Amino acid sequence: MANLTDHQIMHVAESVYGTAVAVSRAVPFLPDSKADWDPTPYQGKGLWVGAPGGVFRSDRRGPGIGQGKLTEKYEAQSKGLGVVLNAAFGTSTHTVTGTAGTYQQVFTPTATGTVLPSRTVQLAVVDNAGTARPETFAGVTVDELELEVPEGPDSIATWTFTSDAKSMLTATTLGTWTPAASASLFGGWSTTAVVTLGGTITAPTTIALATSSGSAVTDLTSLTFSLKNNLDDGRWGLGTRGQPTVGRRELSLKWGQEFTAQTIRDLQISQGKTALLMTLTTGETLSLGSATLQLAFPTVFIDTGGLPDPTDGETVKGDVSASLLWDGTLMPAYVVTRTADAAL
């Protein structure tokens, strides 16, 4: 018998789009995650003599092909998220760093062909009588990703993935909940958090972290990174639906910043290029350093927020919005994790 906090989400990579696989990856999730299924029902509309007021008949209605939508929200942790990050970005590497037990994962927004890797995702909600009711979605393709590092002394970074699903089953066996042991959490509270702005970023390799020639800044109060894949999810065929293709991808940043210099204002006015590198670590010791989450953005252009509004005696802050573009050489974004996970 389960209790009302025993809901679970599990997932696994698919080898064939839309062919469900037994879920195996378990990650603690936040309760504002959700899933929905649109049966896209058909309804016969032919006129029927005697129908009261012309109401359509019930025997001429049934389920169509259907379409699922999922939102998964996870705390940013040092283990267990490689599969879903790979599904969102499209390309990744997973390499032992040269020191046994420490692995580096590098994610970049490139796709092989026109589609992204797909997953099977199972959401199990416990009903009020204590029974977990699994709903298993196949052909899950990530449409949007967001990493938020909120403001505050105790804030925890979170990943949010919004996805499309091809099919949904309710009779699939409930997966066995086995999350990664001793995963640590990333947040802005870390005294080893480092943000550099400006300069030039040297891209990460399969085993080395990214570096920057920019200056360390201490006045950023929050940061949000967004990736939109702009999927074409309307590929309806006779009796089926094709995997959504990737559209023009959009990458953007938002951050809060105390108004201590004119740097952002001047970049907004001039539309000069800058760069941003954020590195978060935890107290989890690996065979090489500590568990690490790094975001590297080589080509950043400020859209808004460089001219903050005056206040009535309060600290002046700006809410900066920026676009991440391609300079023809480096990726617009790199997400790097140092982890004890032996597999993606």
Please write the tens of the pLDDT for every residue from 177-233.
999 999 999 998 876 789 999 999 999 999 999 999 999 999 999 999 999 999 999
pLDDT at 188: 87
Prediction pTM value: 0.97
**Spans in the chain with pLDDT lower than 50:** none
pLDDT at 204: 98
pLDDT at 211: 98
Strand partners, 255: 223, 320
pLDDT at 160: 98
Please report, rounded to a whole number, the percentage of residues in the chain having pLDDT higher than 90.
96
